[in-house]
Structures are given as C-alpha cells and as structure tokens.
Structure 1
Amino acid sequence: MEAIVAGPDDDGIGEALEAEGIAVARVDGVISRPELEDAGVLETDLYVLTDVGQATTIPIVCDLNAEARTVVYARRTIPDFVKGQLDLAVDPKLVGADVVASELVD
C-alpha cells in the first residue's frame, strides 16, 4: 500500500502510516499537479491532506486517480466544495494518528 501525505505533518500521520507498513511520499508547500504526479498520485492508494489551505488538491487527486482514498487529517474545517470528494475527515485532537493509520490499513 502507498500513501501521499500532503502538508506539514505536525501530528505524525505519516509516521503512523509507515509504522503500519505503508510506503509514504510527502509533499509540502504550494502543491501542484506536477508535484502530485512526481509523488506518485497515479498509483497511490491513499491521499492524506493535513493542510486544508491546500484543499483544491483533493479534486485534482480524484481526477487523476479515482481509486485513491482521500483523507483530511487536520484541525481546521474542510471547505464545503471538497466534502463530497472525501472518504474521511478526522481532527487530530479527537483521534490519534496511530488509530487513524490502523483504520486506514484495514
């Protein structure tokens, strides 16, 4: 299983996914389609966004890889325009990274 973690990972979701045996690619800063493609979005199983300021990447991921599960793991509220394209949204204050990673593997 492969995942892309997009945005800063202050809550450790990338490390938690790696602990579950998932290969993790990371992208940060202003994320563009070419950066997503370089990170392996066409083949990834999971896209985890930690910066809701980059929410426009969710439709891009869905367009490039309809099979990828999309997850937001962030403390801020998700913009309405992406809610319909998300598989899961979790606030790190409510559920720890290790629990989320374990559930995503199952």
Structure 2
Amino acid sequence: MAGTLARPDGGRAEGDVAVVAGPDEHGLGEELAALGVEIRRIEGLVTADALAGAGTDEADYFVLTDVEEATGIPIAKELNPDALAVTYAERSLPEFVAGVADLAIDPDLMDAATVAEELVDGAADRAA
C-alpha cells in the first residue's frame, strides 16, 4: 500500500490534515487524530507519487518517522511549501535535508501526545 488516498470523493478536508510517512511506532498519528486532525498515511517508499496520492498538497503537516525516507521532505515542501515538515525519529536527519525540515523531535525527549498538542496549538497560534 503506497498511501492512503486523499479523499475518495475528491473533496477538501474540513479541518487540519497530516500526512504521516513511516512506521509511526510512537503513535504520533493517533495522537494527532485524537485532536481532530485527519491522518493520511504513507507506508513504504516516500515518493512524489505517494506524497501526491496522500494529498500532501492540502496537508497542514508532513510528519516523517523514518529518516531513511528523508528525501521525501523536500518533495513534500515542493508540493506544499506551507505544510509544516516535522520529523519524529530517534536518528538525526541527514545534513542535506536538515535545513528543509521545520522541526525535528526525538521521541526519547518528547512523547507523541505532547508533540501532537504542540503542533495543533501552534497551528492555532499561526492562524490567529
């Protein structure tokens, strides 16, 4: 499965949207969903086609949990420069993409529930 389709009916999501790419072992996607964010997942390779199929162009957040797929960050930002690119992984980002990501968080330093709350609260602050 390359990714969850943006919307079966082709429409725009009502609230915030997060594209979560990677295994999400710490449950950040579930925590965002609990706060009302629509989650679209990419499992496997984070390619331009997978990002487009998941609706990255209308996402508020692009969350990457596998730094091996870090090349997806600049592609996601190209599809949607306004999406907040967040990595939630134990390993550091490769240098060539570290400057493109908006936020890099180590799960050992901040749990998924706190990260989700901060992202959603931060989005509300940015909109105000």
Q: Same fold (TM over 0.5)?
A: yes
In the aligned structure 1, how far is the partner of 2:62 from the partner of 2:76? 8
| Superposed structure 1 runs of 4+ greater than 4 Å apart | none
Q: Deviations over 1:2-58 (max 9, x none)?
A: 000000011000001001110000001112111111100110010000000000000
Match of 2:64 among 43, 49, 52: 49
Instruction: Select the structure of larger CA radius of gyration.
Output: 2
Match of 1:70 among 82, 85, 109: 85
Quote the residue 1:16 is aligned against: 31
Whole-angstrom distance in 2 between the partners of 1:64 and 1:29: 19
- Which blocks of at least 5 consecutive residues in structure 1 are unaligned? none
Identity %: 50
- Structure 2 SS opposite 1:42: helix
Across the aligned residues of Structure 1 and Structure 2, the Cα RMSD in angstroms comes to 0.6
5+ residue gaps in structure 2? 1-15, 122-128
- Once residues 10 and 61 of structure 1 are traced to their aligned partners in structure 2, the CA distance between those partners, rounded to angstroms, is 21
CA distance in 2, matches of 1:72, 1:31: 13
Instruction: Output the TM-score relative to the length of structure 1.
Output: 0.98
Q: Which has the higher contact order (CA 8 A, sep 6+)?
A: 1
Paired positions, count? 106
